[in-house]
Structure 1
Amino acid sequence: MRPVFVSGGSSGIGYAAAKLLAQKGHDIAIFARDSVKLARARDGILAAAPNVDVRCFAVDVSDRAAVTAALDEAVAAMGAPEVAIASAGFAQPGLFSEQPLELHERQMAVNYFGALYFTKALAGPMAKAGGGQIGLISSGTAFVGIYGYGAYAPSKFALRGLAEILHLELEPQGIGVTICYPPDTETPQLEAEKATKPAATAKISEGGGLWQAEPVAQRLIDGMARGRLVVAPGFQMAGLHRFGSLIAPVLRWHQRRMIRKFGP
């Protein structure tokens, strides 16, 4: 059984996925910026699966040279992963007219390029080792534009395009690619979003319920095991996936109502 590599593995969906896969017997490598949070995550994973090897790599996934070096080190020490999940990401909502370009660049750098660097560095070793599964974490904002997510949504739209292409291109190498569109999930990222989320955005995004990280992670793991391209947990994400282009005009109408009612 080959190891599992998870970026963003110190919290949220990434941490939940790492813990679930450790319980299946996989050794785990987790990648995130904060070494303290990584150590805490390692302790949590080992508490759930005491007999696995868990290694931590403190790295910013948007730094191509640094993350590539960390992944090369992990592959050299543990072997090519059987499962690789790019979960690192962040969202900072706000209005386009008010957010600086640097914030647009940072969200694209982490959410899209971070996943790209992660996938690019691991696809070759995974193919040589006999294949495997790659999981990417997107968002409902990849299906339809949502007011207040002008810096975040484009990074998730881009990730959706990458996943759909890699699902085809990597299949002959024995590598499956699955993209997950989580509903609102109780994670530190979601909590941080509240600090800058415009009032209208908060109202627009209501109604889909709040999921816990572990059920979302389990859906992703199950979807990867079945070779599915798309995992869209919950009725809201499933509906956007299947009927997004048809219901987009209704969603835009609804958003305009919320904007008029609640303002920015």
Structure 2
Amino acid sequence: MNHPLAVISGGSSGIGLACARLLGGEGCRVALLGRDEARLAAAAGALRAEGIAVEARCLDVRDGPRCARVVDALAAEFGPPLWVIASAGIVEPGFFLDQDPALLEEQVATNLLGTCHLVRAAAPAMAEAGRGHIILVSSGAGLFGVAGYGGYCATKFAVRGLGEVLRIELAAAGVGVTVAVPPDTDTPQLAHELSRRPRAIAAFAAGGPPLSAEAVARHMIRTARRGGFLSAPSWKLRAIAALGDLVRHRLAAIQMRLLVGRRAP
């Protein structure tokens, strides 16, 4: 196909933008979806300057009906997506009993429901075409619980669960599904998160230096092309995914020791 379509939510920065640069460099027409109009325009302009075919659509993925309209219009003009990458997400650290419940609702609306809206909008055309790749961006926090990240972990566990179901349901239609579980990644979102990360858990939550968005994007796309389900770009996360419950119980015990003496409100 001439310029197959890649639809990327959260495409104006971070992992989404890195995916757009990689796929656009291979000849895809990238449709960037983002809710910050200024940042979206800047990202689209930078990609066009690199010779990449770009469509930019200001969209908040929390709005399901508008998400459907935008994706339908893109598919009608450029054909069914070959790639759909659900990268839009937010993180608001804070201990569960301390935190404003509205912040939990915002994370659910963006990270989980926004992902559902994008996939529901794009997958029917992909299934009808009988081809394509869907990548859902979860997190290392979608593999094990991290204190101070109740809302974020809940949504990222849910995204991983959604991916497991979609992988089964879309296989017969020829649509592959991959779930990415990156560690800390050098993005604007990480800068926001670090300023709010609870001090008692900060050293544990960091887990090492952050990866670049480009490294995470390369691993995601390579895993999807190979038909892999879980894209874990660090050996630690691959070990946690492989060893499952044994490692999760050990990590929980470590965190409990770190929080000894802390009192719930």
TM-score > 0.5, shorter chain as reference: yes
Deviation for aligned residue 1:97:
1.3
Deviation for aligned residue 1:138:
0.4
Instruction: Provide the TM-score with structure 1 as the length reference.
Output: 0.95
Does the CA-based 8 Å contact 2:184-2:206 persist in structure 1?
Answer: no
The letter for the 2-side match of 1:238 is: R
2:240 is matched with which residue? 240
Does the CA-based 8 Å contact 1:199-1:263 persist in structure 2?
Answer: no
Deviation for aligned residue 1:130:
2.8
The letter for the 1-side match of 2:60 is: D
Instruction: Provide the TM-score with structure 2 as the length reference.
Output: 0.95
1:256 is matched with which residue? 256
2:196 is matched with which residue? 196
Does the CA-based 8 Å contact 1:184-1:190 persist in structure 2?
Answer: yes
The letter for the 2-side match of 1:23 is: G
Where 1:148 maps in the other structure, the secondary structure is coil
Where 1:68 maps in the other structure, the secondary structure is helix
What do the CA deviations read for 1:60-90 (whole angstroms, capped 9, x no partner)?
A: 1011112111111211222111011000001
2: CA distance between counterparts of 1:194 and 1:262? Answer: 20
Give 1:157-176 correspondences, 5 Å limit: 157-176=157-176
What do the CA deviations read for 1:169-191 (whole angstroms, capped 9, x no partner)?
A: 10100100000000110001111
Does the CA-based 8 Å contact 1:208-1:236 persist in structure 2?
Answer: no
Q: Once structures 1 and 2 are overlaid, which stretch shifts more, 250-259 or 24-33?
A: 250-259
Pairwise CA RMSD of aligned residues? 1.5
Within the alignment, does 1:144 sit opposite 2:122 as a pair?
no
1: CA distance between counterparts of 2:263 and 2:238? Answer: 29
Deviation for aligned residue 1:262:
8.5
Deviation for aligned residue 1:205:
1.4
1:58 is matched with which residue? 58
Deviation for aligned residue 1:134:
0.3
1:227 is matched with which residue? 227
1:19 is matched with which residue? 21
1:210 is matched with which residue? 210
What do the CA deviations read for 1:84-133 (whole angstroms, capped 9, x no partner)?
A: 10000010100111212211111011001111110111111112223100
Where 1:126 maps in the other structure, the secondary structure is helix
Give 1:48-197 correspondences, 5 Å limit: 48=50, 50=51, 52-197=52-197
Give ranges in structure 1 of 5+ residues lacking alignment: none
Where 1:208 maps in the other structure, the secondary structure is coil
Where 1:89 maps in the other structure, the secondary structure is coil
The correspondence for 1:38, drawn from 37, 40, 59, is 40
Give ranges in structure 2 of 5+ residues lacking alignment: none
Does the CA-based 8 Å contact 1:183-1:236 persist in structure 2?
Answer: no
